[in-house]
Amino acid sequence: MVDIRIPIGLMFSIIGILITVFGLATMSNTEMYQKSLNINVNLIMGVLMLIFGLIMLYFARRKKKV
Amino acid sequence: MKVDLSWIDYLIMIIYFIFVLGIGWFLRKYMKNANAFLEAGRSMPAWVAGLAFISTNLGALEVMGMTGSGMKYGMLTTHFYWIGAIPAMIFLAVFMMPFYYGSKARSVPEFLKLRYDEKTRGLNAILFAVMTVLASGISMFALAILMENVLGWNFNMSLWISALIVLGYTYLGGLSSAIYNEVLQFFIIVIGLLPLVFLALKDVGGWIGLKAQLAPIAQARGFAADTFTTTWKYSGSAGANPLGVEWFGILFGLGFVLSFGYWCTNFLIVQRAFAAESKAAARKVPLIGAIPKMFIPFLIIVPGIIALALSNDPGKGFNLPLSSGGGPDYNLTIIMLLKQYLPAGVLGLGITALLASFMSGMAGNVSAFNTVWTYDIYQSYIRPRTGNEEEDGKHYLKVGRIATVFGILLSIASAYIASKFGNIMDFLQTIFSLINAPLFAVIFLGMFWKRTTGHAAFTGLLAGFILALVHHGLTVPAGATTVIKGGWIANLHTYPVEMAQNFWTAIIAFTVSTTVTVILTFLTTQKKTDEELKGLVYSLTPRELNDSHLPWYERPTGLAILVSVIAIVLTIMFW
């Protein structure tokens, strides 16, 4: 059967990239990030999700080779 | 109280929907017979089934309800996690799973058939099927009304779209697809709510700042200053804590009867472990699930506690909308927090997390319903097996798929009934949930006492259920305005809070059921031979193979000790 880590890895990587780019594009928008205590949470979460997604993909790939 | 979503939020949601349906689409070609569709071919690795196990439990009502309870009761809400889940999960894994999995039963009702008799199975199967449909209807209604009130989505549209997506992936890929998606949903829920916890905690000045802000609120309500940030400290008497229950009720009612009834016998949950690839894996499933379970309070209860502090700080401008009853609508706590802290982007992620929790709960209900319907009702009473295994497999696959469609249609119907007669649905759900405690009594006796007979079990199950019903009909929680909360026969006793009434109803159900089963066992004769009971009863089952050559974390007992230690440390830290 399909390794569940592949769809999880793909989904988190895609959404991660999307949110990272959105975070970068809205970097100068201080008004928008006022509610998140002036932290650009999009950038942080985007990068975290991308890392998580890539880790999942890495483990799925490694298992395949064995 | 409207939350405005932007294009990026919708885009995240759409990507999530595509993946959820995509998983079902990829798995469809493996669904060759009923066994693959309804039992996932018993092929799931322990970690996958373990995360699915916990994700099914993390439904929308759980997330919304527990955040709301955090705001109402503070850290005492963690009793539903640490004492109210972990011991039962360990017990299920270490003591019960060998018999469940080893019996080759495909469902909990079928285990009752193997251990006892047909009538015990029939009673349980029918009650369970009704309960599942009600539960998924009620959570579907809760979600649609939330989306209508907060996001301005059309009620019918969100009801049908969310139901059709769940239908899509469970119809295509059956239990495998439900389980795979539950793992995906688990990660989405955790990651989607993470920024909220982080920002909210930072805003109130961390745990220490939160404690300081909660002290005057607790004192104003007549409690000790640290009531909202402790768990057992003020459980000496019911009046000293906001939960309104004393330590005995928490320990025995919640920690034993309610939680063992739920975690050890609810097929919706146990089914995930049945799908594991081996008996050893099945035993690890609840333990792997227990590890994230212990930390979920930090994700959903702590934000609720922060909401309590925020709502008492006028400078924050945080207020819960009022419910139809006039009080604050605690179910909206989580979504109002998302609105308070999350900008576009992560906001979409948070809303997706709520949708994911709804779907994981609902898919759990649907996949349990179609299995019980196909195996325990259709195969037992309508069309028994013919003996031609291949043809049977195809036939029951078709039946399982049709049951999936009907299960969802019935859930949608009950969601509409809930929208018109919400009280009646709540009442029915309360009634049907009374079945869990007697069921635990009967299964427990069956597994550990070989003499327990079918007649005794059936009567015990029924008697426990009926007496629980009578207790609910004779008592009321303080301040109840409708008979739906109890007292529909007469009012003999008033409980300070509804929770206390629930705990005692369960305690009575369990005690009556145990007593009746034990007494009747002595008065009836055992019809099953020792040979038939092999693998089902502790004393008649050969000991497990020695697993001492495995590293400790591969062994169920090793994992169980790890889980216990973490739970004890957490309990002491937040005593």
Query: Taking residues B163-190, what's their average pLDDT?
Result: 93
Nearest to B190 by CA among B84, B81, B300, B80: B300
Could you write out the three-class secondary structure of B359-373?
Answer: HHHHHHHHHHHHHHH
CB proximity A41 to B under 8 Å = yes
Structure tokens at B207: 């745990």
Domain(s) of CATH 1.20.1730.10: residues in chain B: 7-423+543-573
What is the ipTM, given to two decimal places?
Answer: 0.94
Whether A41 and B43 lie within 8 Å, measured CB to CB = no
- Measured between beta carbons, the chain B residues lying within 8 angstroms of A22 are 8, 344-345
Chain position carrying tokens 């216990």:
B564
List the beta bridge partners of residue B493: B475
Residue B238: other Cβ atoms inside 10 A: 19
Give kind and range of the element (H or E) at residue B475: strand B475-477
pLDDT (average), residues B404-415: 92
Are A48 and B223 a contacting pair, CB within 8 Å? no
Query: Between B382 and B483, where is the model more confident?
Result: B382
Q: Which residues of B touch A23 (CB under 8 A)?
A: 345
- Set of chain B residues whose Cβ sits within 8 Å of the Cβ of A42: 343, 345-346
DSSP string across B530-553: HHHHTTTSGGGSPPPPP-TTS-GG
On whether any CB of chain A is under 8 Å from the CB of B344, the answer is yes
Q: Are A43 and A25 in contact (CB under 8 A)?
A: no
Q: What is the mean pLDDT of residues B367-371?
A: 93
Q: What is the DSSP letter of B172?
A: H
Two structure tokens written together for B129: 């099927």
Q: A7: which 2 tokens?
A: 């769809």
Chain A positions in Cβ-Cβ contact with residue B199 (cut-off 8 Å): 36-37, 39, 41
> If residue B502 lies in a helix (H) or strand (E), which one and from where to where?
helix B498-523
Distance of residue A27 Cα from the nearest chain B Cα, in angstroms: 12
Question: What tokens were used for B336?
Answer: 């109002």
Highest-confidence segment of B228-232, B428-432, B479-483, B512-516:
B512-516
The model's pLDDT over B471-526, given as tens digits with 9 standing for 90+, comes to 888 888 877 766 677 778 878 888 877 778 888 888 899 999 999 999 999 998 88
**Which residue shows structure tokens 């309070």?**
B297
Q: Where are the domains of chain A?
A: 5-65
Task: Write the pLDDT tens digit of every residue in B263-306.
Answer: 999 998 999 999 999 888 999 999 999 999 999 999 999 999 99
Q: Does A22 touch chain B (CB under 8 A)?
A: yes
What is the distance in angstroms between the Cα of A66 and the nearest Cα belonging to chain B? 17
B1 pLDDT higher than 80: no
> Which residues of chain A fall below pLDDT 70?
63-66
Q: Enumerate the residues of chain A whose CB falls inside 8 A of the CB of residue B23.
A: 2, 4, 7
What is chain A's length? 66
Is A29 in a helix, a strand, or coil?
A: coil
DSSP calls for B91-132: HIIIIIHHHHHHTT-SSHHHHHHHHS-HHHHHHHHHHHHHHH
Q: Which residues of chain A have a CB within 8 Å of the CB of B176?
A: 1
Mutation for B interface: A2, A12, A15, most B CBs within 10 A = A15
- Residue B48's pLDDT is what? 93
Using a CB–CB cutoff of 8 Å, tell me whether A30 touches chain B.
Answer: no
CB pair distance less than 8 Å for B342 and A49: no
Mean pLDDT (whole number) for B52-72: 89
In the structure encoding, which two tokens stand for residue B383, read together? Answer: 């069309």
Nearest CA in chain A to B16: A11
CB-based contact B518:B453 (threshold 8 Å): no
DSSP 8-state symbol, B493: E
- How many CA within 13 A on the CB side of residue B36? 18
Whether the predicted pLDDT of B249 surpasses 70: yes
The residue among B354, B352, B355, B398 whose CA lies nearest residue B378 is B398
The answer to whether residues B294 and B81 touch, using CB atoms and an 8 Å cutoff, is: yes
Mean pLDDT of B416-445: 82
Name, in order, each residue with C-beta under 8 angstroms of A34's C-beta and a sequence gap of 6 or more.
none
**What Å distances lie between residue B287 and B92, B228, B372, CA to CA?**
9, 29, 25
Preferred mutation among B15, B346, B360 to probe A, highest tally of A CBs within 10 A: B346
* b/e code A7-35 from CB counts within 10 Å (16+ = b): bbbbbbbbbbebbbebbeebeeeeebbeb
- Cα B334 to chain centroid, rounded: 19
Provide the strand spans (E) within chain A: none
CATH level 2 (architecture), domain B7-423+543-573:
Up-down Bundle (1.20)
